[in-house]
């Protein structure tokens, strides 16, 4: 069976797509860092007012949002993000 694209063509498509993936990963990582900083602001304000770092009902909302958009792996991703933002509980 003959293939419809040459190895050179495929390498070009892959190279371009990987550049885009690297750029997207850079943006995602910057956004994760920004999320961590914003989350820290919320946690510090709550703790300064005598509250707790963790707010479980809010975390449930976030887990649900990620699960609705991405399915079960979305929940895993949200749990990892929450751990990055507020540490392990
Ligand atoms: C940032 C908050 O504090 C904690 C961190 C959360 C987060 O990073 O999304 C969510 C709930 C809290 O456990 C918040 O209550 O909104």
Give the count of alpha carbons within 13 A of 65, CB side only: 10
14 within some domain: yes
* Interface ipTM: 0.99
70 within some domain: yes
User: Which letter, b or e, does each residue of 14-29 get, where b requires 16 or more Cβ atoms within 10 Å of its Cβ?
Assistant: eeeeeeeeeeeeeeee
Report the alpha-carbon distance of residue 1 to residue 8 in Å, rounded.
18
Which residues line the pocket of ligand 1, CB cutoff 6 A? 39, 42-43, 54-55, 58-59, 62, 82, 85-86
Report the alpha-carbon distance of residue 17 to residue 20 in Å, rounded.
5
Residue 42: domain span: 7-86
Ligand 1 pocket test, candidate residues 34, 56, 60, 86, most atoms within 8 A of CB: 86
Query: How many domains does one find in the chain?
Result: 1
Q: What is the pLDDT of residues 20-70, one digit of tens each?
A: 999 999 999 999 999 999 999 999 999 999 999 999 999 999 999 999 999
Q: Give the closest residue (by CA) to ligand 1 atom 10.
A: 59
1 within some domain: no
Q: Is residue 8 pLDDT above 80, yes or no?
A: yes
Residues 81-89 have a mean pLDDT of 96
Q: Is residue 1 pLDDT above 70, yes or no?
A: no
33 within some domain: yes
Q: How confident is the model at residue 18 (pLDDT cuts 50, 70, 90)?
A: very high
């Amino acid at each position: 069976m003959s293939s419809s694209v040459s190895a050179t063509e495929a390498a070009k498509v892959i190279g371009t797509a990987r550049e885009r993936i690297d750029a997207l990963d850079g943006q995602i990582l910057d956004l994760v860092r920004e999320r961590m900083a914003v989350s820290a602001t919320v946690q510090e304000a709550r703790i300064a007012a005598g509250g707790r770092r963790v707010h479980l009902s809010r975390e449930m909302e976030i887990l649900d949002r990620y699960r609705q958009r991405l399915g079960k792996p979305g929940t895993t991703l949200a749990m990892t993000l929450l751990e990055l933002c507020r540490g392990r509980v």
